[in-house]
């Protein structure tokens, strides 16, 4: 049932547009094209894998932005259902994350398509990609629990989160390499769960490396910490949100 509603949610997102679900692939491709053109123009990119490196970061960033924004508004947009039916409220952020699963399938198609264009051959380390993707979806769900409750009480959360999402484009290793930065930016990266997950994906997909155990510890702890604390906050204040709808 969750995946059925998630699919309907995905179709409604593009309802009325001529290209429809094709936008799921075109949006990240446009972002990638602009960043690739700008970055290869303003600096001499020596690394042959930069195109694949960039698209990996863009795809994770795009899914995170779309998934958390959808999760944030999931309760408010379904206010009519919540007021008329006795239904578990936590299902709506889960449905939003389910929509991300469908988008993820399309995004993986974009990734492998661009790999062929850049003549990039993935290595055996790709077998660990599902683990990173599962961790990524857990992060989106946890953040969605937080945002949906906060947005239910305070609508100002939406523009604030939009600014933070925009900032994540620059403070996450999407078009820059971790070993090329230091200082404040490196410190932020070490605390940034999205950046940590993107870097794990880079190592597995782009560099063909198997991350060490120590590189998995922080992302796993922080992601599940966000999930459990977000869910606890959600359950504590969910009834009050319905009254504010």
Would you say 190 and 198 are in contact if contact means Cβ atoms under 8 Å apart? Answer: no
Residues 62 and 27: beta-carbon distance below 8 Å: yes
* Token pair 């409604």: residue: 12
Q: How far apart are CA 108 and CA 112, in angstroms?
A: 6
pLDDT score of 12 = 66
Query: What pLDDT does 146 receive?
Result: 93
Left, alpha or beta for 4 (phi > 0: left; psi -120 to 50: alpha)? alpha
Query: Do 41 and 114 form a contact (C-beta atoms < 8 A)?
Result: no
Q: Looking at residue 169, what is its pLDDT?
A: 92
pLDDT value of residue 21: 66
**Averages of pLDDT over each 10 residues, the chain, 245 residues:** 67 64 79 87 76 93 93 83 77 88 86 88 90 95 94 89 93 89 86 94 92 92 95 87 69
Q: Which residues contact 34 (CB under 8 A, 6 or more apart)?
A: none
Query: Average model confidence (pLDDT) for the chain?
Result: 86
| Secondary structure string (H, E, C) spanning 25-92 | HHHHHHHHHHHHHHHHHHCCCCCCCHHHHHHHHHHHHHHHHHHHHHHHCHHHHCHHHHHHCCCCCCHH
Give the C-alpha separation, 93 to 143, whole Å: 9
The whole-number pLDDT of residue 105 equals 86
Residue-level pLDDT at 222: 94
Rounded Cα distance, 89 and 149, in Å: 11
């Amino acid at each position: 049932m969750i995946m059925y509603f998630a699919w309907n949610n995905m179709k409604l997102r593009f309802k009325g547009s001529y290209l429809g679900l094709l936008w799921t692939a075109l949006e990240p491709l446009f972002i990638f094209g602009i960043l690739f053109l700008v970055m290869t123009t303003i600096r001499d990119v020596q690394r042959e894998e930069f195109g694949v490196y960039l698209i990996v970061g863009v795809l994770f960033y795009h899914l995170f932005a779309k998934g958390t924004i959808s999760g944030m508004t999931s309760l408010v947009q379904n206010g009519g259902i919540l007021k008329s039916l006795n239904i578990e409220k936590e299902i709506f952020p889960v449905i939003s994350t389910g929509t991300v699963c469908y988008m993820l399938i399309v995004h993986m198609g974009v990734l492998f398509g661009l790999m062929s264009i850049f003549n990039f051959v993935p290595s055996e380390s790709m077998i660990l990609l599902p683990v990173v993707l599962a961790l990524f979806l857990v992060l989106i769900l946890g953040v969605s629990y937080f945002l949906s409750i906060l947005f239910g009480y305070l609508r100002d959360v939406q523009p604030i989160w939009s600014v933070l999402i925009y900032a994540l484009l620059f403070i996450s290793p999407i078009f820059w390499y971790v070993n090329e930065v230091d200082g404040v930016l490196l410190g932020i990266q070490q605390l940034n769960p999205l950046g940590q997950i993107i870097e794990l994906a880079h190592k597995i997909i782009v560099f063909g490396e198997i991350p060490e155990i120590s590189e998995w510890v922080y992302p796993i702890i922080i992601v599940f910490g966000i999930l459990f604390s977000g869910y606890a906050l959600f359950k504590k204040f969910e009834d009050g949100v319905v009254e504010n709808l």
